[in-house]
Amino acid sequence: MTEPRAVELDGDRYSELLGFICKGRQDPETFLRALWNASQTADDIADGDDAPGAMALLIDQMMDALSSPFYQQNTDALRSVIATATANWLQSSRWEMAGDNHRRMYAWVWRESLDSAAIAVAYIIGGMEHATAARARIADDLYTGDQAEPFEGWKR
């Protein structure tokens, strides 16, 4: 096994998207990056791709996210969003290998529930209009075109 890794949202595509969602504010962007890293490590562990030390890395990443100034200032608004996204992800893990496409389709969509945290951040920063624009931008940037993960063949 390899060393555990911290997945970073690198590249112009992600930096530009986070800049848009967070309106250039560093604290919310730092929070979203930490949450993203934790979600990727958790996914690796759930998929059996975890390296020694991955659980410790996950705990460190969650501590980074939950101790960030932005999260601390907006705990009440963000806690239920993250809990809901986590519950959706856990159900997705149960259904991802289901034999019927109906359950697999829901599992595939629920895997992306954590983007709700980014939309909540956009709402906190800029209200409903900005949250709606962020939802559209996330959908266009991450779930369409060449970068989108195709449903066909997912987890088969």
* Per-residue pLDDT tens over the stretch 93-137: 888 877 788 888 888 888 888 899 999 999 999 999 999 999 999
Q: What is the dihedral of CA 73, 79, 85, 89, to 10 degrees?
A: 120
Whether pLDDT at 3 is above 70: no
Tell whether pTM > 0.95. Answer: no
